[in-house]
Each structure stands twice: as C-alpha cells, then as structure tokens.
Chain A
Amino acid sequence: MSEVLLEVNNLKKYFPITRGFIKSKVGDVKAVDDVSLFIKEGETLGIVGESGCGKSTLGRTLLRLYDATAGEVRFRGKDVLNAPKDQIKELRKEMQIVFQDPYSSLNPRMTVSQIVGEALVEHGLYRKGKELDDYVVEIMNKCGLARYHMNRYPHEFSGGQRQRIGVARALALSPSFIVADEPVSALDVSIQSQVINLFTDLQRELNISYMFISHDLGVVRYISHRVGVMYLGSMVELADKNALFDNSKHPYTQALLSAIPHPDPTMKRDRIILEGDIPSPANPPSGCKFHTRCMYVEDICREEVPEFRDLGGEHFVACHLAK
C-alpha cells in the first residue's frame, strides 16, 4: 500500500448548456471543476458530497465514460485521457465500475453468466465454453452467488443479489481499480452490510483499489482509508479518514458531518444548520463557491478562489481561513 495507482490532475468536465433550434451554447455546467487527487494501490478513497456536487461525474470522467474538458488522468503512469483506442481497451481491463442502481444497470435480456462473461469474451481472454463457464462460476462464488444462479435473469434476483452481479461483472477482468458509484444506496440496511462486507473482503483478497462514491458518510467512514469532500464540482477537503472525520478543517465538511443523524439517542450535539440551498452549478458563486452559505465568510472569500493546499500530513483543504 504505497505505490500511487491513479493520479488525477486538474480534471475538468463541463457540460454545455444549449438553447434554441441551432443549439447555440449559452453557458457551462461545471460538474467537475479542477479536481486533483491520487489513489494508492489497495486503498479506498471515499468521495462524499450532496446530490449535484459532481462526484459521479468525477468517477465517470476519469474512466473516460465522459470525455474530459481539460486535465490529466494517469493510471500507473499511463495517460488515460489521450490513450488511443487499442490502449484504452487494455486500460479498461484494469479500471471498472459498479453502478448505483442494481435495477437499471443490468441488461434484463441477458443471463447472469452472459453478463459476467461478456467482457471476458470481448477482450479475447476466453472463448465461449466450459472454461469460460468455470471461470464465471469462480467469480460468482467470490461474490456470494452460486452455480445454479448462472442461467437466471436479473429480474429473478433481489436488489442485494443484483448488486452482487454488478460487482461480479466488474471483477471478471481482474481489475486493479474499481469506481463504486453509490453501490449500496439503493439497498436496505440489512442487505447493505452484506454488500459492504463483500467490497472489503475482495479488497483484502485481491488488493483492489476503490474510489467509493457515496452520500452516506457512515458507510464512507467505515470503508475508506482516505476521504474527499466535494461541493459544487470542486474538492474542498481531502484527508486521511480519521483526520477528516475528527478534525475537519473546511466549514462545509464540518456542517456536513454535524448534519448526519447519529443512531445513538444519548448523543446530543451542536448542529451546524446551513442556510439555504446549494447554488446552481451553471452559475456558481464567485470566489469560494461555498461563501454564500458559510458562517465564517470574509471579504477575501467572495473575491478569490481558494487554493487547494496541503496543511501538512496530506490534509488538503480549499479554504482561505483554514489553519
């Protein structure tokens, strides 16, 4: 757990806003705006933030599921964003994704073994036949599915089991990096813990790195080594999880953490209630994007964009006032 596996530098993804018949461009939604981070081997980086903060777009852009507007992504030193077609196919074996919705992310007309085996055939690793089937069963077993599930269709499974199919599909090519985009959000609590355990078991066994995207801070704290917090397309804080949860430096992180209802009725805390709603990412506030809701706001916050700087010990924060 030391080598840097994935490096993201100043990544930007803007979606154009168009208007009228000829679709003239009238602006940009800055979904991901100048984000930098790195992920080490065998490590889980949690990404948290509220809806619309760009966390899913970040995950998809660095896998090249969206074309980035600017920036750089390096996977084991190789340039991902400018890789030619044959190289990107090689990279895709290494970088996989598990989607949020276990209902819409599986093709209803394919059986489980087709879903899990498709990529293996596509990449020319196996031909259809017994060998492929045996390997598919091996992967399925790892994910808590049995051989007799092979020829069933997604609708025959419960939500938790479907998410296991999604994980098995991502795992088939033995990737070293998986983006998990809210993989447990659609599941009930008792099922959620089964899938979380699956993720941690696989990491221990196969040394996979995860980017674990979630809005559930309890889950993120449990599963991650380091955590990044996003607000309106920007990374506002990124640190070791204990440093982040126990000693957060950014006012937004502090408000977000204090807002989580804790399942312990004896605990009474001072809650920071943020005023108002998240501004539109098409028209973000000037300077620090959080200044409209921040209780410590000063003049400099309205004018200058804060730098994403290291406070020491790899505790990064984008705030003028943080010390």
Chain B
Amino acid sequence: MTKLLEVKDLKTYFYTDDGVVKAVDGVDFSVEAGKTIGIVGESGCGKSITAMSILRLIPDPPGKIVNGEVIFEEEDLTKVSDKRIREIRGNNISMIFQEPMTSLNPVFTVGFQIGEVLMLHQKLSEEEAKKRAIEMINLVGIPNAERIVGEYPHQLSGGMRQRVMIAMALACQPKLLIADEPTTALDVTIQAQILEIMNDLKSRLNTSIMLITHDLGVISEMADHVIVMYSGKVVEDAPIMELFKNPRHPYTIGLMASIPSLVKEGQRLETIPGAVPNPLYLPKGCYFHPRCKYATDECKKAQPELREVAPGHKAACIRAEEVTR
C-alpha cells in the first residue's frame, strides 16, 4: 500500500493569555491511498485541529504549528509557500466541515460555489464550470440538479446542504477528502444517505478519506483504520477489526463500555469517572491517569510512548498487555 499522506510528530500550540494550549502534541499517523482513516475522540481532544493543521487552516495568531511534518506526495505541507498550499486546498485535498449551515456562503448560488473551485483550480470557463456543477449535484444524489444550481443555501435542507458541501469538495476529484464530523448535525436517516454517498464515491473515484467523528458507530461502518485521540495525543492506532475486537488502551475500552448499544440488557453502563482535563493544566505523566482504573504510580511519572502491542496495533499505555475489555 502506498502512503498518500504522512503526518510526523505534528505539534500545534495555541498561545493564549492564560498560557500555552497544546492542542495537538506530537501526533503521528498516515493515510493510505483509497482507504478511510477514522479519528475518534471527545470534544477538545485535538482531532479537528489535527485536520486543520494539515491544510494550514489554523488561525495564526494565536495558533501555530510548532513542529512536525505533513508529507503529501513528497511535499511537506507545513513548509510549502502560501501560494502552493492554496493550489492544494480544494484541488488535491479538500475538506467538509461539520456545520453545513455556516460553511456555505449565503449570497452565492450553490452552482456558483461548486463551480468556483473548478474555475480557480482547473481554469474552466463559467459555462463549463456550471455544467460540471450540475454533474456533481447529480452525483451526490440531489434530484432536479438543473434547478438546484440556481438556488441559494437557505433554500435547501440540512441534508442537501451537506451534499452540496460534498459535491464542492469532490468537484476537483481530490486524492484526499477530510471530513470533520460530516453527519453530526444531521438526522440518522439523512446520515445514512450521506455515509452511503461517501462510501460510494470512495470506491468509484478511489479517494482516501480522513473521517473525524466522536461516533464509534459511524467509525465502525466507514473506517479501515482508526486513531483514538485524547488530550492532543494519539493513544491508540489500529485496524478497525483489531480495535473493536481487542482494544488495548483503557480510554478506548472505557469509551466502548459506555455506549448503550454495546451493553447487554439490564447491565449497568460503565463510566469513565471525571472529565477531560483542562488543556492548560494537564496532569503529569500519562494524561489519562486521573481517570484510569489501571493507573499505577509509574503512570504518574512519565508519559507513555505510543508503541506496538501487536502487529500493526499501537497503544500508548505501559500496561497495555494487561488491560482487557
């Protein structure tokens, strides 16, 4: 398998008045061509900041990529010129955001917004761009494409807007699609439609997908490989089947045990005590130790390294071999 994208030791910090927030703190992973990688974690774990760092969308100041490499087709995206990164955004790598309401421009028609990408990157004329926009709208399963191109975002429902976002993101046939909680704002029946479109396009266009979500259900249906993040660090990294069958980090295990649909009837839900630590005052040692039932004195001293615990399966826990689901 060829690696399409490789993120090495990425660190993105935010310099605030109260101190430095290490939103992403030494993250490594790679995305293979034609595969879907899932990034899971709770709010504030740094999964969205990781995605935004790849395309250099971090507001600077206060944010800054302080370390690491993002290798995409032999180029380090953290080092390339502003002009070059603009060529890549929307053309080679594109992104779908969580909020379909706020990520479309309300004063332009959806046809223009889809076509704009094509005019900019592929130098199509306005007419050609419109034709392609209609094709794209058809592709994502919106009926009456000829009429929809002339409509404004407020005239469409949430599910349609998210499909327009996907159409826009895929217009230039990017090699990598970053989807940041693409279905969180949608109802389940609409979510099912969107996920099916994404899977269908992946197999037809061989697009790699980086899917960010907090929903383990969505992950299990979509991803080939999963990364679990906690407080800016990767705590577990494994192929999908392996992760669900044999989770090795206490945080991953705790997450799975707290999902009602994975628990047998009448059984009490397991909980992870406490809450995600404040990023300004992270605990010493392993960031998870105050909430971990396996924690020892060793865990309070040093940060565990992300190490291989089984072939192709990494976890950042010194007791990974002992913990079980």
- A-side residues, CB < 8 A to B, are 50-51, 158, 160-161, 188-194, 196-197, 200, 215, 217-219, 221-223, 255-256, 258-266, 271, 273-274, 276-278
Contact = CB atoms under 8 A, between A and B. Distances in A.
Given A51-B187, A188-B276, A273-B192, A260 B217 contact: yes
B193 A217 contact: no
Contacts of A51: 187
B271 A194 contact: yes
Nearest to B213: A261
B189 A192 contact: no
A261 B217 contact: yes
B195 interface: yes
B192 A263 contact: no
Interface of B: 42-43, 143, 157, 159-160, 187-193, 195-196, 214-221, 240-241, 244, 254-263, 268-273, 275-276
Given A256-B189, A271-B192, A190 B219 contact: no
Contacts of B275: 158, 160-161, 191
Given A190-B254, A222-B261, 20 more contacts: A50-B189, A158-B275, A188-B214, A189-B42, A190-B271, A192-B258, A193-B272, A196-B260, A219-B260, A221-B260, A256-B188, A259-B192, A261-B191, A262-B217, A263-B217, A263-B262, A264-B244, A265-B240, A266-B241, A266-B244
A188 B230 CA distance: 13
Contact of B269 (A197, A265, A274, A276): A197
Contacts, number: 115
B269 A222 contact: yes
Q: Which of B259, B270, B273 has the most CB of A within 10 A?
A: B259
Centre residue among A190, A194, A197, A200 by max chain B CB count within 10 A: A190
- Overall SS of chain B's interface: helix
A274 B244 contact: no
Contact of A190 (B220, B255, B260): B255
Contact of B188 (A50, A196, A263): A50
Nearest to B195: A261
Given A193-B270, A264-B220, A277-B159, A259 B191 contact: yes
B12 to A, nearest CB: 21
A196 B218 CA distance: 21
A280 to B, nearest CB: 10
A264 B261 CA distance: 10
Contacts of B258: 189-190, 192-193
B187 A50 contact: yes
A262 B188 contact: no
Contacts of B191: 259, 261
Contacts of B257: 193
A258 B258 CA distance: 22
A276 B190 CA distance: 8
Contacts of A222: 260-261, 263, 269
A193 B291 CA distance: 15
7 contacts: A189-B216, A193-B257, A194-B271, A197-B268, A263-B244, A264-B220, A266-B241
A193 B216 CA distance: 14
Contact of A223 (B43, B187, B216, B260): B260
Contacts of B219: 263
B45 to A, nearest CB: 9
Contacts of A193: 257-260, 269-272
A196 B270 CA distance: 10
Nearest to B268: A197
Contacts of A221: 260-261
B260 A265 contact: no
Contacts of B192: 258-259, 261, 271, 273-274
B188 A217 contact: yes
A197 B262 contact: no
